[in-house]
Amino acid sequence: MYIRPVQTRKDLAAFINLPYQLYKHDPVWVPPLRDEQRGQFEPKRNPLLDHCEWQLFLLEDNGKLIGRIAVFIDLLAIDFWNERIGLFGYYECIPDPAAAQTLLEAAQDWLRGRKCTSMRGPWTFVSQEWGLVVEGFTPSPVVMAPYNPPYYADHFAAFGLEKVKDLLCWYISAREGYQVPERILHLTDAVQKRYNVHIRQLDMKRYDEEVKIIINLANSTIIDNWGFSPVTEAEVQAMARDMKPVLQQKGVLFAEDSEGKPIGFAITLPDVNTLLRGLNGHLFPFGFIRLLTGIQRLRRYRMFALGVIPEYQGKAVDSLLYRAMHETLYTQDLWMEINYVLEDNWPMVNAIKKLGCTPLRRYRVYEMGI
């Protein structure tokens, strides 16, 4: 076996292409768009890289690629966390313990050489795309959600990586008879009346301004969440640019108080993975038309984010936003994955349980001292 750093455009193309080879016979995996994957590693398109030191590695055996890994240090995150935690991700490997050991050792050595005290992952260059699937390998992953075979957990455990945090997912299905529980309907009616909370949809004509509102709300609602780190203005603009083509106006809701001040938000993304299946990651010639005509007709979603400012937390405004989202998106074939929630975010976990959602998946983030 031979491990080497990615140094050329040809190497990067091989790094990006490896999952398409490893998973080509896996019926659950949905090939992401290759151009979108490529953009994650291009500083001009992904401004997160502006504050990262990073390296990609490829693993070969007899001239054949059998694994890959990315390793990086997010300098803004380190300053915010006040810990020198190195990150790894984009891990792919054949079912070979020696290959896994070689990849993870390369990441460990690279981070150790930069005086990191621990390594954490899987973590990616995309916001909120963390973790290894350890439960719930089916159905297929939703948009912007990781996927991996079950044996990766064995690779990590054998290397000495241990669980640091689990991320939980639930789902609802109208076809399976899901309805918002009656007691939640009464509760949210009372909340809306008591606090005079108004729910409104995203205004696409004011898109840039609406994005700033979301970022301000997010910074005040999730700043204390495990794993949070600040994002730059350039990252905000890039995220807004990338999401705009796939957003449905009705899938982004704001909660406002009696004076029109935003106090909460919820974002639900159409699951474009439904449309990407069978394209093998290529937008042209047929993928573009499929996306253009199909996004607004999708009835499968990922609830991507939900937050309420501290002054209104514990007052069921989150349940009110959830109810409003359900009513806004409802069709007889609605299916929505709530992805994901920190396992120890007890207010959110308990609220989701009371809403009658069904457990679906568990992602795990690992860490070890180095």
pLDDT at 329: 97
Say whether pLDDT at 356 is over 70.
yes
Q: How confident is the model at residue 231 (pLDDT cuts 50, 70, 90)?
A: confident
Q: Which residues are within 8 A (CB) of 318 and not within 5 positions of it... i.e. 6 or more apart?
A: 264, 306, 308, 347, 348, 351
Lowest mean pLDDT of 5-9, 59-63, 290-294, name the range: 290-294
- Write down the H helix ranges in 23-151: 34-39, 75-81, 97-112
Asked if residue 236 lies in contact with residue 262, where contact means CB atoms within 8 angstroms, the answer is no
- The secondary structure element, H or E, covering residue 265 is strand 262-270
Q: How confident is the model at residue 287 (pLDDT cuts 50, 70, 90)?
A: low
Query: What is the set of domains in the chain, with CATH numbers?
Result: 2-166 (3.40.630.30), 172-362 (3.40.630.30)
For residues 8-14, give the mean pLDDT: 97
Q: How confident is the model at residue 285 (pLDDT cuts 50, 70, 90)?
A: low
pLDDT at 239: 86
pTM for this one?
A: 0.94
Phi-psi label, residue 363: left if phi above 0, alpha if psi -120 to 50, beta otherwise: beta
30 vs 290, higher pLDDT = 30
For residues 225-248, give the mean pLDDT: 89
For residues 36-54, give the mean pLDDT: 96
Q: What is the pLDDT of residues 167-183, one digit of tens each?
A: 999 999 999 999 999 99
